[in-house]
Structure 1
Amino acid sequence: MKNRNVFPSEILYDCVDTLRYLIAQDRKAFLYALAFLRGEPDWVRHAVQVTGLLTDLLLLRDPHDPQLREAMLGVMLHTAGKPLLVSEALPSLNVNMNPVQKLMLSGHVEELIKKLNTLG
């Protein structure tokens, strides 16, 4: 979006709508299920888990917030590219990073765009 690139908004909005629906149906089961996501690439699991946890926090704060859907979409897009950068030079996102690794992490937007283009 920042670079004026088109992204599959229908698919992403469907995803956040599904997450919102699932948490409304059974919050405890939803939060439990987030910990056991399997069968998807790490970058997808990470984005869904972070989005799900943020949604839970936002709903506890204000369940009628008109910006909830957009906040969910924003966090999903923001976090999706970071796990794609994990490599020998950046072994984990859960460690204290040196300045070079932090600089590498700033390329997560471009990495996500490349991945989405590759996937069509």
Structure 2
Amino acid sequence: MLLLLLLLLPLLLGVLLVLLPLLLLRLRLETRRLLLLLLLSLWLLLLLPLLLGVLLEARRLLLLLLGGLLLLLLSLWLLLLLLSLLLLLPLLLGVLLEARRLLLLLLGGLLLLLLGAPRITPF
């Protein structure tokens, strides 16, 4: 029954739209305004699902756009991080090699002390 009513609603509204101007010619000004307000409210009720759908779709598109922009910014940030690491790689390797050299010198000195090698003193 509801489906039939939904199918006949546009037909009834069309008949109302055709007959309404004929009725408006014979009615008083206050009644005309009331009927025009009723007609406008009916049109708004008919357009409300469409407007809501457009707004929801616009919100969905905006969220997709913002998500894509966020992913783009994140990928650019990761790219800049990778480039900075590549630029710092020789420095990091040099620090690691120098630390290894210092560690080997320290371990060699400790080994010489443990083995009882003569100490070199300035005096």
User: Which of the five TM-score ranges fits, normalised by the shorter chain?
Assistant: under 0.3
TM-score when normalising by structure 1: 0.26
- Which has a greater percent of helix? 2
TM-score when normalising by structure 2: 0.25
Larger Rg belongs to: 2
Q: Which protein has greater RCO, CA pairs closer than 8 Å, 6+ apart?
A: 1
